[in-house]
Structure 1
Amino acid sequence: ARRAAEAVAGLAEGGADAPRATAALAGDLIDLREALSRAPVAVSEAPSSAPAAAAQARGEKSIRVLASTLASIGRQVELLSLAEARRARRARDVFGHAASVREALHALDEAGRALSGAGVEAGRAELTQASIRLREVAAELARVAREAAREAEQQRLAGAVLREDLRALRMVPAALVLEPLRRAVRDVAGRLGKEVELTVDGGDARLDRQIVDALRDPLLHLVRNAVDHGIEAPAARRSAGKPAAGRVAVRVEARGSRVAIIVEDDGPGLDVAGLRAAAVRQGVLTAEQADRLTDPEAARLVFHAGLSTARAVTEISGRGVGMDVVLETLARLGGTVDVRWEAGRGTRFDLEVPLTLSASAALVFRVGRDVIALPAEAIEHVVLVAPGDLGTVAGRTTARIAGEHVPYVPLARLLRMPESAGPPARQRVALVLMHGGARVAVGVDELVGQQELVISSLGARVAAVQHLAGAGVLDDGRVVGVLSAAELVRRAQPGTAPGRGEGARRVVVADDSLTTRSAMKALLEMAGYAVIPAADGEEALQILRESGADLVVSDVQMPRLDGFALTRKVKADPRLRRTPVVLVTSLEAAEDRAAGLAAGADGYLVKREVERGQLLDLVRQLLPHA
């Protein structure tokens, strides 16, 4: 394993040692294969699957590998992907330099002939020698370019084999995440006095271990909600002409390079009217906005943080926490979630995720002066739109694409960037995106190309920038933002619900208690604010200095930097001193309150006042236009 890691590092560095590293890696893979063939069979703790059973039937051996080791190798292979692209780019650059030298040589020959025609003999010998030397340099550059291209191709092939082998190592049966759902269904059904049958299909499908681990909580939320909200009580089912036992089905379906996990029940379907009423009651939408929503748009309110249609808060329902976790997890994985229902017949949630989280193809394009990327799998079509293809339908700009009118919005307008000045181009480049059953075309200025990108998370400090899914490094070393197709489609839709979108006010919540921090985050997000959590005052101050915020809600007793010190630093900073600070603490003595106000806090609440709703009242007073 150590030699293989060194060989991968050699490939990533490139240069003259790359072919030697390729050969060494091939030898190490052969040695590893022989070692695996001699290794004893390990007892697996995972549920049995058809692929595993087939492998045992063929007499193949297996060994245990630490997940951390696979993760480390995965990171190195992702770096190798970047090195491959850079090496191929360098080869193209050398070809370009060789062509430039040939052009210079041609110009030099023309100058020599012109001098000869004019009868000028002085310097002709030197000119001839320079031409000979340039021809030698051009030939050498061409040779180096061919070798560089050949080595880049060898590295690409070795990297492709390595990525496929690593992908196979990381794949585990979907049963690992599906089988534990049976106990969750039994427990919830038993508490509610319901009869529920769970059927699971497709457990033999294999997914990336990281994706399987990330899907545990979302699937648990979905099946618990299916039993609680989706399945009626036995008496109600019998009166509706249904069997007393409800049915919840979970199945996995392969969809090319992606996989779908479908959760459906045979209950009464989504209560869309109840979702609209809950959104109005809890301040998520106004009554007018709720009425303007179509049924599919209203159905997606089920994913809004803090929104619940439950009449009472119990251990299972009513807290408004859960379905937003599903949406956020799927977005983080580069997946999508869609909801469909049929009145009286049931509800279906369709989750779609990539098979693996390794480097993926991305389309790179330019908007104004900025270069941006989108995952290629999120783009349905790339088309050229002429001015005659643009029109309006129901007051919205649309583009006629393949005989269909698709909503059209310039990407610069969606991202609130300056739009290109000057006369409109004869044809515009448009990317057709599909998400959650909605389809839109976004206009960009220029296509740069397609590249393999390793998409990295941007961390908690920019979590409120909803349109960014991460960042990647191009083969020329430039860092580009990678957009979230789901957020772009959401912004392009009419009647988009307010909340954590582009118009939300930013609030930093600092508390070293995860439970308290999450509770205040859910409360503020339910009211339509974009919340950026921080684990202590030091992290909150760094967020404020790097990206700013409209308001700070902070605990007092925190490690590194407490609430009083944070308030003093915020009020002493010329750029931040106008930012309101609300201190929330269990310290309710008069001297503690006086100390907080003396530090410059704009509000001081004890935690029982937060529970009575006074935090939201105070935030709305301090941000009157939110």
Structure 2
Amino acid sequence: ARPAAPSPEARLELRGDKPAASIRVDVDRLDEIAALAGDVLVEGERAIRRSRDLNALFARWGRLSDRVIALAERLRDARTARLVEQIEGDVHLLRSDTFRFARAQTEAASSSQAQFGMLAERIGEARLIPLSGVLAGFPLAARDMAREQGKEVECVVRGGETGVDKAILLSLNDPLVHLVRNCVDHGLETPAERVEAGKPRAGKIVISARVDGDLLAVTVEDDGRGISPQKVRASALRKGIIGEQQAASLSARNALDLIFMAGFSTREQAGETSGRGVGLDVVRKRVTALGGSVTVESEVGKRTRFTLRMPQSLSLMKVLLVRIDEDVYGIPAVDVDSVGRLDPKEATEVAGIRAVRYRGRLMPVVALGPLLSLNGGPRSKRPLVAYVDHGSEGAAVVVDGLHGEREVAVKAPGAFLKGMRFVTGAAALEDGRVALLLSTPDIVAAARRLASPALARGRDRRRLRVLLVDDSAIAREAEAALLRSLGHEVDEAVDGEDGWRKLQTGSYQLLVTDVQMPVLDGIDLTRRVKATPRFVKLPIVIMSSLSAPEERRRGVDAGADAYIVKGELEAESLAATLERLCGVGA
């Protein structure tokens, strides 16, 4: 008789395979385990701290034992020789045992902490769900949307295996739907338009996800008509979202950022601005609420790319611990570019705005103590500062002290903290203190608001062409930003001679100059300009850090029409000065 066919289980055993084992675990139960793992991680830090304290005690005991042995040696004589030897032997043995115990305790604490960290990391990974669960349906949905509008589209999903916290996954679906709908409805052209532009008939949308350090980065890109900064600016101006002066001062990048404003979210506006804006304010609000950011890049006629960055997990977070007075606060480490001391020579202050040049760009300086209404700011002349980035914006955050980077278990803010400005959660520290975790988007937004010069109010002002002369790059950039915020066109010169050359070749209605400059200073430049018949009626404003009365007299004697001290400068007063000199309010 033929032998019976082996069962499926037997066949697995013959091949050496093992059936995959899995069980369903309630997400709430997993959250409880993750919270416990976070608490265990804190206990591990406390064990490390106790180990350090113990080593310090043993070091004190070592110094005391040296004195005991020295004293015993001094008392040694014929009668006490044996007793002294016993004391020395006991002390040496005790010191040896103490050293071995301290080393074993330190090693055990370090080993336990490493295991606790691995435990918390593994549980955090267990909470992650592949993004494919959300992304898988987008290719078909995009084709259906396109078919309704007579368009053709190929939607490609990449990185669907990337894991993300379930809480983030649920909040990510709506923003992605908004972005893909924008791509299909307004970003992509019709087949006829695409063929005429030399593109394939079918548009392409690429949704990709990847892990960037501790952040999840999701991009949605299309090869459609792109976004025109000029059309965005014009549309926002027509709808009253911005004023004429602000529109004139906006860079192309900042103009694109207008599409995320709530007032920009109608189909009519979308059609006027290459079809962008439908629901994009919702996208930014959702992602920002998760501690993330949204940025947009575009090439007119070629492509548009939205990038969403957010934490991969909400339960564990690496933070930079900073001190304000004696309290500790945490800033997400992924948002911190670097830390250091703020050198007064690298900072400038114009119109009450303090800024610092950092890696080629101007960053507003914001003191965390006053921002949180805790104190008046650091007293040090070179205070500690954390340079933070969020999306395309950044800030130099001044603090009282730094406590290094730490991985912490995030606790949701309780009733007492809920609704508190800038606070997103809390974390227990090994010394028993609780660190409040701060929102980088809120801090950067506050710094940006503080750094935005007050726009001149009242009647529309005529736009002037201004020549700005200042040898300090950071001061020149801040002054130019202030003048542009008032709606004026600004050309820049790096010193007096450079300013004189540009003045002769250009057509300007106002000259603004610093005083202290190499080669040709502001006073001599003013004299030279006023001595030239062609420029005798050109208004000149000296903008200097020198405030002494005799310096003001030197400026007036040289022919300057106004003298403004940089530290006392305000947008409104500058606007009033320009109105008086140039009649820009007429």
- Using CA pairs under 8 Å that are at least 6 residues apart, name the structure with larger relative contact order, 1 or 2: 2
Does residue 162 (structure 1) correspond to residue 119 (structure 2)? The answer is yes
Q: Counterpart in 1 of 2:388?
A: 433
Does residue 66 (structure 1) correspond to residue 21 (structure 2)? The answer is no
Q: Distance in 2 between matches of 1:454 and 1:218?
A: 27
- Change in Cα spacing, 1:292 to 1:135, as seen in structure 2 (3 Å) is farther
Q: Distance in 1 between matches of 2:229 and 2:348?
A: 32
Equivalent residue in structure 2 for 1:94, among 42, 54, 63:
54
- The answer to whether the Cα contact below 8 Å between 1:74 and 1:166 also exists between their aligned partners in 2 is yes
Q: Distance in 1 between matches of 2:359 and 2:452?
A: 30
In the TM superposition, what is the alpha-carbon distance from 1:263 to its structure 2 partner?
0.2
* AA matched with 1:78: G
Q: Distance in 2 between matches of 1:467 and 1:40?
A: 60
Equivalent residue in structure 2 for 1:486, among 441, 445, 449:
441
Equivalent residue in structure 2 for 1:469, among 387, 408, 424:
424
Q: Deviations over 1:117-171 (max 9, x none)?
A: xxxxxxxxxxxx9999999998887666545423322322322332343344334
- The answer to whether the Cα contact below 8 Å between 2:353 and 2:450 also exists between their aligned partners in 1 is no
Q: Counterpart in 2 of 1:16?
A: none
Residue 267 of structure 1 aligns to a residue in which SS? coil
Identity across matched positions, percent? 33
Q: Counterpart in 1 of 2:462?
A: none
Alignment of 1:248-263 (within 5 A): 248-263=205-220
- Change in Cα spacing, 1:224 to 1:492, as seen in structure 2 (3 Å) is same
Tell me which moved more, 338-347 or 147-156.
147-156
Q: Counterpart in 2 of 1:341?
A: 298
Residue 267 of structure 2 aligns to a residue in which SS? coil
- The answer to whether the Cα contact below 8 Å between 1:456 and 1:470 also exists between their aligned partners in 2 is yes
Runs of 5+ consecutive residues of structure 2 not aligned to the other structure: 1-8, 76-85, 454-586
Q: Counterpart in 2 of 1:364?
A: 321
- Change in Cα spacing, 1:219 to 1:152, as seen in structure 2 (3 Å) is same
* AA matched with 1:443: V
- Change in Cα spacing, 1:133 to 1:71, as seen in structure 2 (3 Å) is same
Q: Distance in 2 between matches of 1:268 and 1:440?
A: 33
- Change in Cα spacing, 1:146 to 1:452, as seen in structure 2 (3 Å) is same
* AA matched with 1:219: L
* AA matched with 1:477: G
Q: Deviations over 1:174-215 (max 9, x none)?
A: 322211212332343244343322122222334444433332
Q: Counterpart in 2 of 1:297?
A: 254
Does residue 78 (structure 1) correspond to residue 35 (structure 2)? The answer is no
Equivalent residue in structure 2 for 1:247, among 182, 204, 208:
204
- The answer to whether the Cα contact below 8 Å between 1:184 and 1:220 also exists between their aligned partners in 2 is no
- The answer to whether the Cα contact below 8 Å between 1:285 and 1:497 also exists between their aligned partners in 2 is no
Q: Distance in 2 between matches of 1:57 and 1:109?
A: 67
Equivalent residue in structure 2 for 1:448, among 391, 396, 403:
403
Q: Counterpart in 2 of 1:502?
A: none
- RMSD over aligned CA atoms reads 4.5
Q: Counterpart in 2 of 1:408?
A: 365
Residue 224 of structure 1 aligns to a residue in which SS? helix
- Change in Cα spacing, 1:353 to 1:421, as seen in structure 2 (3 Å) is closer
Equivalent residue in structure 1 for 2:136, among 154, 169, 179:
179
In the TM superposition, what is the alpha-carbon distance from 1:250 to its structure 2 partner?
0.9
Q: Distance in 1 between matches of 2:422 and 2:278?
A: 22
Does residue 268 (structure 1) correspond to residue 228 (structure 2)? The answer is no
Residue 365 of structure 1 aligns to a residue in which SS? strand
- Change in Cα spacing, 1:309 to 1:370, as seen in structure 2 (3 Å) is same
TM-score normalized by the length of structure 1? 0.58
Q: Counterpart in 2 of 1:350?
A: 307
Q: Distance in 1 between matches of 2:151 and 2:451?
A: 37
- Change in Cα spacing, 1:312 to 1:487, as seen in structure 2 (3 Å) is closer
Does residue 226 (structure 1) correspond to residue 183 (structure 2)? The answer is yes
Residue 475 of structure 1 aligns to a residue in which SS? coil
Q: Distance in 1 between matches of 2:42 and 2:174?
A: 33
- The answer to whether the Cα contact below 8 Å between 1:306 and 1:319 also exists between their aligned partners in 2 is no
Q: Counterpart in 1 of 2:412?
A: 457
Q: Distance in 1 between matches of 2:207 and 2:415?
A: 32
Residue 268 of structure 2 aligns to a residue in which SS? coil
- The answer to whether the Cα contact below 8 Å between 1:368 and 1:420 also exists between their aligned partners in 2 is no
In the TM superposition, what is the alpha-carbon distance from 1:348 to its structure 2 partner?
0.7
* AA matched with 1:442: V
- The answer to whether the Cα contact below 8 Å between 1:409 and 1:442 also exists between their aligned partners in 2 is yes
Residue 410 of structure 2 aligns to a residue in which SS? coil
- Change in Cα spacing, 1:320 to 1:407, as seen in structure 2 (3 Å) is closer
Residue 493 of structure 1 aligns to a residue in which SS? helix
Q: Distance in 1 between matches of 2:16 and 2:117?
A: 28
In the TM superposition, what is the alpha-carbon distance from 1:103 to its structure 2 partner?
5.9
Q: Deviations over 1:246-299 (max 9, x none)?
A: 222111234344332110112222354555466566665445444433332232
- The answer to whether the Cα contact below 8 Å between 1:467 and 1:488 also exists between their aligned partners in 2 is yes
Does residue 331 (structure 1) correspond to residue 288 (structure 2)? The answer is yes
**What is the count of residue pairs matched by the alignment?**
433
- The answer to whether the Cα contact below 8 Å between 2:357 and 2:363 also exists between their aligned partners in 1 is yes
In the TM superposition, what is the alpha-carbon distance from 1:392 to its structure 2 partner?
5.5
- The answer to whether the Cα contact below 8 Å between 1:261 and 1:351 also exists between their aligned partners in 2 is yes
Equivalent residue in structure 1 for 2:342, among 385, 393, 404:
385
In the TM superposition, what is the alpha-carbon distance from 1:85 to its structure 2 partner?
1.3
Q: Counterpart in 1 of 2:539?
A: none
